[in-house]
Amino acid sequence: MKLHTLKPANGSTHHDKRVGRGPGSGMGGTSTRGHKGAKSRSGYHKKIGFEGGQMPLQRRLPKFGFKNINRVEYKAINLSVLQALAEQKNFEKIGREELIAAGFISSKQLVKILGNGELKAKLAVEANAFSKTAEAAIQAVGGIATKI
């Protein structure tokens, strides 16, 4: 087998229909487009969502929902994660830098500490926000919860 002997499998290729090439071709005259109307003209393009003049679906359905432009997104970190991090690395203070180094957050994310899990280590925790249960649990062990 050589490159110049290769050819496509039978039936896998076909020639495009050549329209508008005179009456002898069987596809002259209107060139298979029928008579009159926008679809028979060159340059026709149907608008997205156009339903032939009927009120389109995106205009028939009511608008709903609300997007708060002032919403603040936090990355949630649980107390169980802080406890595991404190045990592994022997931390007494956990802030954004420690969480970034451990790979829990990126440098652009804001952190919120949530109260899921149990905290045994006495930690000084710095974060952008705390849930009430998390703040209470940190202080119950003798730690400090500081909002940045």
Handedness of CA 63, 64, 69, 75 (dihedral sign): negative
> Is it the case that residue 1 has pLDDT exceeding 90?
no
CATH class of 74-147: alpha beta
Percent of the chain at pLDDT > 90 equals 90
Q: Contact at 8 Å (CB) between 123 and 138?
A: yes
3-class secondary-structure state, position 53: coil
Tell me the two tokens of residue 114.
Answer: 């949530």
Q: Contact at 8 Å (CB) between 92 and 144?
A: no
- Give the full edge-to-edge strand order of the sheet including 110-114: 74-78, 110-114, 129-130
Q: Which helix (H) or strand (E) holds 76?
A: strand 74-78
Residues 6 or more apart in contact with residue 112 via CB below 8 angstroms: 74, 75, 76, 77, 127, 128, 129, 130, 131
State which amino acid sits at residue 22. Answer: G
Per-residue pLDDT tens for 39-63? 999 999 999 999 989 999 999 999 9
> Is it the case that residue 137 has pLDDT exceeding 90?
yes
Per-residue pLDDT tens for 64-79? 999 999 999 999 999 9
CA dist., res. 108 & res. 96, Å (int): 10
